[in-house]
Amino acid sequence: MNRRIRTLQKMLAREKLDGFLVTSLTNIRYLCGFTGSNGMMLVTRTKAMFYTDFRYQEQIKTEVKGCSARVLERDLYASFPVEDLKNIRRLGVEKTHLTLARFELLRQQLKKTKFIPCRDLVLELRRKKSPEELQLIIKAQRMTERVFRNILSLIKPGVTEKDLAMEIEFQFRRAGEPAFPVIVASGENAAKPHARPGGRRLRRGDCITFDLGCRIDGYASDMTRTVFLGSPDPQMRQVYEAVLTAQQEALEIIKPGVPCKLVDLAARDSLLRAGLAQFFGHGLGHGVGLDVHEQPSLAKNSTQTLESGDVVTVEPGVYIPDKGGVRIEDMVFLTRNGCLNLTSVSKKMLIL
């Protein structure tokens, strides 16, 4: 049994569960190392079992650690090993992952089991990054920064957003893979926080927002920078400085014990003073790890509190419709009494 599974077992006792069914593949990877596309885990107070199908019979011999592994039919839910659930009365399920169809299949086979829809317990465990996990996130971030610096020399009038996005993804593939579809948004497209790179050609005076992240050995990084092609107009300059100030004010208060919503509020207040708060419509940041978006959430309505071991982004943005936008995103690691910024690319306004 490994440490992660043991920690989950301790949670089961606190949650008054006899067992917990893990159906999220990312959670399964975190608990036992399996990286395939079909798996399920049953963790009881004393045992841990992993299930997959024939296609992964060989892979699991080297990959799966800390629990027993069994090969079932491809539809793991229809061929659920009912005998493994003997003595399990209260079974927790991941309510944010288990589909209704699969739930129905389980319920038909397990008439005596009481299913308890649970919050994502493993996702909560995943918040606290180990030194090894942190190293992988830093490695992914360094790769992201290398690719970003390489790309700067390609930013010229006439180049399309798509050209730049393809080049970024190509370079990521050398060391890992893109952690999410890269965002390259220029001019008025930069007013859309999640714009998709298209055929728009860069022009002088454009702001260009790059949101990019690489994944190495499962772990993601996430960074955003907005640069300018030629001199920006005075309004966009003011926007840039205001976003940067908002980010700095949020970064200054980040430490364990601080409610996540207060960090969001620090950035929002700063933009309010600059008269730009109405253009900041998304949350300030999110956890990063095996998923690009994980816990905790740095948002207005968050009920979470920052803890040491968290890796979170801080990414205020201001989006002026039909004109452009600026977002600046860094990733930080929560130390025992503050935070360590994992992003080393300069945030000084860059005019190319």
Least CB distance from residue 259 to Zn ion, whole Å?
A: 20
Least CB distance from residue 66 to Zn ion, whole Å?
A: 31
Residues in a beta bridge with 223: 212
The answer to whether residues 313 and 299 touch, using CB atoms and an 8 Å cutoff, is: no
Of 316, 314, 225, nearest to 279 (Cα)?
316
In angstroms, the Cα distances linking 135 to 127, 142, 183 are 15, 10, 25
- Burial of 321 (C-beta count, 10 Å sphere; 0-12/13-18/19+): exposed
CB-nearer residue toward Zn ion: 171 or 226:
226
Least CB distance from residue 138 to Zn ion, whole Å?
A: 16
Least CB distance from residue 317 to Zn ion, whole Å?
A: 10
Contacts of 343 (CB under 8 A, 6+ apart): 141, 145, 223, 329, 330, 331, 332
Question: 3-class DSSP state for residue 72?
Answer: strand
Of 261, 309, 267, nearest to 288 (Cα)?
309
CB-nearer residue toward Zn ion: 9 or 221:
221
Least CB distance from residue 277 to Zn ion, whole Å?
A: 20
User: Where are the extended beta strands (E) located within 149-199?
Assistant: 177-178, 183-186
CB-nearer residue toward Zn ion: 52 or 209:
209
CB-nearer residue toward Zn ion: 133 or 222:
222
Per CB under 5 A, residues contacting Zn ion are 211, 222, 224, 313, 329
How far apart CA 229 and CA 205 sit, in angstroms, is 6
Least CB distance from residue 327 to Zn ion, whole Å?
A: 8
Least CB distance from residue 315 to Zn ion, whole Å?
A: 5
In angstroms, the Cα distances linking 275 to 217, 246, 318 are 43, 12, 11
CB-nearer residue toward Zn ion: 64 or 179:
179
CB-nearer residue toward Zn ion: 115 or 148:
148
In angstroms, the Cα distances linking 149 to 49, 155, 168, 173 are 45, 11, 10, 16
CB-nearer residue toward Zn ion: 103 or 180:
180
